[in-house]
Amino acid sequence: MKIARFRTGRRVAYGVVQGEEVIEIRGSIYTRFRMTDTKHRLEDVKLLAPTEPTEMWGPGLNFADHLEYAASVFENGDKAPPLPGHPEPWVKARGSLTGHEDPIILPRDSSGEVHYEGEAVAVIGKQCRRVTPSEARRFILGYTCGNDVSDRTWQNQDWTFWRAKGADTFAPVGPWIETDINPQQLELIVRLNGEEVQRAYTKDMLFTFSEIVSYISQQVTLHPGDLIFSGTTGVTRALKPGDTVDIDIPGIGVLSNPVAEEFDASAL
């Protein structure tokens, strides 16, 4: 089942996507809901980020081939860091969340090395605290597409990822949640202006979604709607104004975002 959050006119609602339509629901996507008789064509609604999370989490370096790239980016020499023995989660700023077809805004004081990172994203469905990996899957509602946009220079300069990964619009997520899919058998394709630039498989994650959720939950309570990113793989490229980035996960959908410069009012 595909669950979308959308705006029609001044109203924000949830609905179930069927073909080219979205059927409004009544109730909560986290407990019980029913479909209504109200339908909209997808082309007539504005798809929003599929949840309003309390927190968003990245797992740190979670694909082996991204470790080698990280070594060069973060001036660790030519040798990749050792494989981590456990997840290394970090919080991505809630204010960076944005939706399908919304622009990724390049800050005017950024380095020029703002990169896409195509990822799968788990959506927490129930309050989750101190669960085991085998229990964790029961606390996940479904999965969606995400882009962990990152400024590589700021990553290298700062002690934390507060601006490198947390700047406004640096977390596109969508277009909807798929509830019936195997999260560790997903193919993830990134296209930049129609050209394939990244391809990954969640079976290659060093730590599965269940392991990441379990690890975070030992110290932090996860809440319905919270988002857990998968991590990314391989080498990425810088974005420039006018680009379009598509995160395509077959079985889920395509998250698409144009890229634009931050408007500088002082230049007027």
Q: What is the CATH number of the domain that holds 40?
A: 2.30.30.370
How far, in Å, CA of 230 to CA of 118, rounded? 9
Could you tell me the pLDDT band of residue 94, with boundaries at 50, 70 and 90?
very high
pLDDT tens, residue by residue, 139-179: 999 999 999 999 999 998 999 999 999 999 999 999 999 99
**What pLDDT score was predicted for residue 75?**
55
**What pLDDT score was predicted for residue 63?**
87
Domain shared by 60 and 44, yes or no: no
Domain shared by 37 and 58, yes or no: no
Q: Is the pLDDT of residue 122 over 80?
A: yes
Domain shared by 16 and 102, yes or no: no
Q: State CA 55 to chain mean position distance.
A: 12
How far, in Å, CA of 190 to CA of 247, rounded? 5
Contact, 122 vs 177, CB < 8 A? no
pLDDT tens, residue by residue, 182-228: 999 999 999 999 999 999 999 999 999 999 999 999 999 999 999 99
Domain shared by 176 and 121, yes or no: yes
Q: Is the pLDDT of residue 71 over 90?
A: no
Mean pLDDT on 72-76: 53
Domain shared by 254 and 182, yes or no: yes
Residue with tokens 């229990």: 135
Domain shared by 30 and 73, yes or no: no
Domain shared by 10 and 136, yes or no: no
Could you tell me the pLDDT band of residue 3, with boundaries at 50, 70 and 90?
very high
Percentage of residues in the chain having pLDDT higher than 70: 92
The domain total for the chain is 2
Residue bearing the bigger pLDDT, 65 or 137: 137
**What pLDDT score was predicted for residue 68?**
54
Domain shared by 43 and 62, yes or no: no
Mean pLDDT on 227-251: 95
Could you tell me the pLDDT band of residue 111, with boundaries at 50, 70 and 90?
confident
Domain shared by 126 and 190, yes or no: yes
Domain shared by 44 and 2, yes or no: yes
**What pLDDT score was predicted for residue 64?**
78
Q: Which CA distances in Å does 13 have to 26, 38, 41, 87?
A: 9, 11, 14, 35
The parent domain of residue 6 ranges over: 1-48
**What pLDDT score was predicted for residue 50?**
98
Could you tell me the pLDDT band of residue 266, with boundaries at 50, 70 and 90?
low
How far, in Å, CA of 212 to CA of 218, rounded? 10
Domain shared by 136 and 223, yes or no: yes
Mean pLDDT on 50-79: 73
CATH of the domain at 230: 3.90.850.10
Q: Is the pLDDT of residue 263 over 90?
A: no
How far, in Å, CA of 44 to CA of 24, rounded? 13
Domain shared by 15 and 66, yes or no: no
**What pLDDT score was predicted for residue 69?**
52
Which residues are 151's β-sheet partners? Answer: 114
Percentage of residues in the chain having pLDDT higher than 90: 85
Mean pLDDT of the chain: 93
Q: Is the pLDDT of residue 80 over 90?
A: no
Could you tell me the pLDDT band of residue 72, with boundaries at 50, 70 and 90?
low
